[in-house]
Amino acid sequence: MTSITVEYTGDFHCRAVHGPSRSELLTDLPVDNGGQGDYFSPTDLIPTALATCILTIMAKVGDRFGVPLEGARCEVKKVMVSDPERRIGTIRTVVRLPAALTDKQRTVLERAALTCPVHRSLSDRVELPIEFRYE
């Protein structure tokens, strides 16, 4: 179990400290909800977690099969909805991978992406389209 401590520091800012590493992350409300937009918003962390989880799981599987993924990228776009309540409605994900991957490698990596724990943890109320591009 990982421990994370979060402190409200004022001006709609929070400071989160990861227990094991002591690394810090700052958050702010988004501008469209009254914040300054100085840092990631709490709802920005969800698509960030999804993107980093997808790439990490793909890299772990790629490592098992000798497929290096350095330079692979994941772009996420968060779409908020407000009816009936403000929440994340859609997270659009584009995963950019090397064009030289074989069909078999592509299939294995795409399946791995869909098994990431963050993807599996999100509610079915959030649309999660994922596009894979080979460049």
Closest CA to 69 of 78, 80, 58: 58
pTM of the model: 0.93
DSSP annotation of 9:
E
On whether the CB atoms of residues 95 and 132 are closer than 8 A, the answer is yes
Domain locations in the chain?
A: 4-33, 42-134
Cα(14)–Cα(44) distance, integer angstroms? 14
Closest CA to 96 of 78, 69, 120, 119: 69
Residue 34: phi, psi to the nearest 5?
Answer: 95, 5
Tens digits of pLDDT across the chain (135 residues): 899 999 999 999 999 999 999 999 999 999 988 999 999 999 999 999 999 999 999 999 999 989 989 999 999 999 999 988 999 999 999 999 999 999 999 999 999 999 999 999 999 999 999 999 999
Which CATH number fits the domain 42-134, given the four candidates 3.30.750.24, 2.40.50.100, 3.30.300.20, 1.20.1440.230? 3.30.300.20
